Structure 1
Amino acid sequence: MPEPTIRPAVLSDDAALADLDRRAWSPVHAVTARPGPDEPFFTKRNLPEYILVAELDGRVAGYLRLVPATPLPSNAHVRQIQGLVVDETARGRGVARALLRESAELARRQAAVRLTLRVLGHNTSARRLYESEGFAVEGVLRGEFLLDGEYVDDVLMARAL
């Protein structure tokens, strides 16, 4: 079975990433509204330079968004994962793990020493994956989101690089 290829995003990935975002959207991992049918993936806030793309079998199979945690100089040593999506047809093939590992390498190249993320409490498969990659729970915001009529915890996780 081929390994996923991880690369930086380019503007021409917009349609494929927007399509993936629409198909993969779920209240299990999303706190925002489902993307609209004509909504672009790249925006002023969501730039290609923040996105790692996973390719498998010659097509986009997933992405990870890696950004500075805040714009503060005192926090410049921290990078935050603000989105990890894998196409349903590519799950179980190492795509998410490859994206996580490449994001850690990229963060190190950017002189970061800490990598953080937030995950919904009910997303147990993602939490297990993050734990297996060295992330530990550092805090829980109880009932932080109301999704489909249920209060859901926001779990803060991090790892050293």
Structure 2
Amino acid sequence: MTAPTAGQDVRSDIADISAVLVRYATGIDRRDWKLLRTCFTDACEADYGDIGRWLDADALTAYMEHAHARCGHLMHRVTNTEVTLDGDTATARSYCDAFVLGPDNDDGMQASGRFDDDLVRTDQGWKITRRRYTLALLRPVRNSARLLGGSGGSGDSHEPR
């Protein structure tokens, strides 16, 4: 087996960092708080503006668990990821679009913004050590699938009328 080239290492690191960002979204959407926790170093800084600021991963994870406890469907999308590598550290900028529905899955909020992250390579892989979230849009949403007779994603199936 041949050793990877520098270009392969860069592509691998970028893919691994992108996977951390997707894992963050997946952890929230599945309410898998252990998975979410794996995205951050123990002593991280997370600044979500008016939402709050945390100085360690356990406090941030506890907040996310509490904030989403009574929610219905969750859908976080992370896109347009741009990564800059510098040895065992990196910066990443990505967009986040989140739909957070209430317990009835009818009404909720859409929040769109960007993450600016500092990451570090650890023995467990890449982790976020600093995150700043900048909110660009916050608006109420209504689940129109229910108005059209659909299940709104509850898993129920309906025959056409």
TM-score normalised by length of structure 1: 0.32
Choose 1 or 2 for highest CA Rg. 2
What's the TM-score, normalizing by structure 2? 0.32
More strand per residue: 2
